[in-house]
Amino acid sequence: MKRRNDIRNVAIIAHVDHGKTTLVDSLIKFSGQFRESQLQQECILDSNDQERERGITILAKNIALTYGDTKINIIDTPGHADFGGEVERVLRMADGALVLVDSFEGPRPQTRFVLQKALEVGLQPLVVVNKIDRPDARPLDVLNETFDLFVELGADDATLDFPYVFASGRSGYASHDPATRSGDIRPLLDLIIERIPGPEVDEEAPLQFMVTSLTYSEFVGRIATGRISCGKIKTGQTISLMKADGSIKNEKVVALEVFDKLGRTPVQEATAGDIVAITGLSKPEIGDTVADPAFPKALPRISVDEPTISMVFTINSSPFAGAKEGGGKYLTTRHLRDRLDRELESNVALRVTEASDKEAFNVSGRGVLHLSVLIEQMRREGYELSVGKPQVIRKKIDGKVHEPFEILVVDVPQNEVGPVMEIVGNRRGEVTNMTTNSTGMSHLEFSIPARGLIGIRTRMLNATRGEAIIHHQFDCYKPIEGDVPRRANGVLVSQERGKVVAFALGKLQERSELFVAPGDEVYEGMIVGENSRDTDMVVNPIREKKLTNMRASGSDENIILKPPRRLSLEAALEYIEDDEYVEVTPSIIRLRKIRLTETERKQHSRGSVTE
């Protein structure tokens, strides 16, 4: 085995909003290898529409820069806990990791998660204390906190002697002195070359290549990306594709590409240590090994943490399914199954099973955001579907039922601690740590059942007037706790189909909060508002005023309606109860009862009571 000094493979890992993608922007701009037109926007690598709209990274991305005589392959990863599966699979491609930590916030739950995964894989960490130009920055304290985190995670003495640098990704400079506020990003690049090792390779050994990510092209089909562990690979070469079930298929490499700047460049040959993209394999899957047909030996498959949240995906069975205006193109169970199967190819943290109802699927993921991103993508592609209430996935351990618990971290002004403690306490959360810093912000850490988190963000933001900063991270499975409070209010359910009338809403808004406005189309069983009481109420939102030829002075009142409450997809998923669906179409999101008619609902409730 020998080390290649002409290449560095580096993953950038951090908690959400600590500045990974912005730091990559600085590296791209400093390299001077890109056209001005490629550098116009912020967060250059966040190319996905949803990434731009949400302001977060969802998918891991690869780019390559040349610094001196060394090629640096950079892997930008998501920071949100729900997309931890993306981080777990790409760490296999790297030899080192830039561990970004915000110079004020310090290590957070996702910092712990990604650092633990990096240490398990054996990556060389390089700590970057980012955002040192913040007025409230405390870079040296944060560096000490990061060292403590390494100790907690059981790092050995060699790892504890990690290199570090202070930086501002937005301003584009790095320094070994936390007081510096100028310069360029060169010190960080020098440290990468000096302290992160090149890949250890054996070019003469038989070929081994792990498929760690997949993309799809309409022109060439699936493109498998990964790092060559041993040997060499050439365009036109015959290889063996080793599957999860132990089967081996001989395939031909139609095209071979290496990463270059923001894209890929075709090459005739690549050797151990290179990160490459292979075209021509018929059905590669993440975790498959590409090997030499003469010596087919599989690499250990990627192991990813299990999902914790499950939802039912089913066809849209409402009267407005496939509506001419704003309706979807893909409406059937077959369309739904094909789309979910395609998602499974690249989304390693997702699980899909068929439900007892033949038209439904149980889709499991890391959290509500993980699944809502998939639903939103399907909606934009022209799919219509109905989605059930998120449910936690329980396990039987030693004969007892266990449920997932999460670490909930809340930063909130000191005067808003009371409402936060009350909300979390009502949902079976227990305080594990509580500190207050010099700026008057309280840092609260809780252990809470995962089901207690569903819907908590909206309630907490309302209770703290939008001041709370909320993060959560899966912790472990513990014996099941007692009940968690459900939605406090019932809903208004339409009993008719038609267009909403202002006259009807004027009477309803006195005792409810409305989700629809005059002119909106509704149908029987659709949820049109929230009741002020804890029971559901069937209403007629299309009732018009009776017209007569009799006049009465002062009888015509001026109807003033409050604007309706429009729920986002995530808010709708957290709002619904077990007997309700979120109806998702390309143009609109509606709430509905699973059983549309009042008679069906009464029969079902009587059956439930009898049982």
Binding site for GTP, by residue number, is 17-22, 130-133
Interacting residues of 260 by C-beta distance below 8 A, sequence separation 6+ = 64
What whole-number distance in Å separates Cα of residue 394 and Cα of residue 397?
A: 10
List residues forming the annotated binding site.
17-22, 130-133
What whole-number distance in Å separates Cα of residue 45 and Cα of residue 51?
A: 9
Unique residue bearing structure tokens 């513990």: 478
- Amino acid identity, residue 472? H
Among residues 366, 362, 349, 388, the alpha carbon closest in space to that of 309 is found at: 366
What whole-number distance in Å separates Cα of residue 164 and Cα of residue 311?
A: 42
432: DSSP letter = E
- Amino acid identity, residue 596? L
191: DSSP letter = H
Q: How does strand 221-230 pair with strand 208-217?
A: antiparallel
Structure tokens at 609: 């009571």
Find out whether 10 and 95 touch, Cβ atoms under 8 Å. yes
What whole-number distance in Å separates Cα of residue 385 and Cα of residue 314?
A: 6
Find out whether 359 and 315 touch, Cβ atoms under 8 Å. yes
* C-alpha radius of gyration, the chain, whole number: 27
Q: Could you give the C-alpha distances from 392 to 357, 370, 373, 389, 479, in angstroms and in order?
A: 19, 14, 18, 10, 13
469-493 burial string, b = 16+ CB within 10 Å, else e? ebbbbbbebeeebeebeeeeebbbb
Q: How does strand 521-522 pair with strand 537-539?
A: unpaired
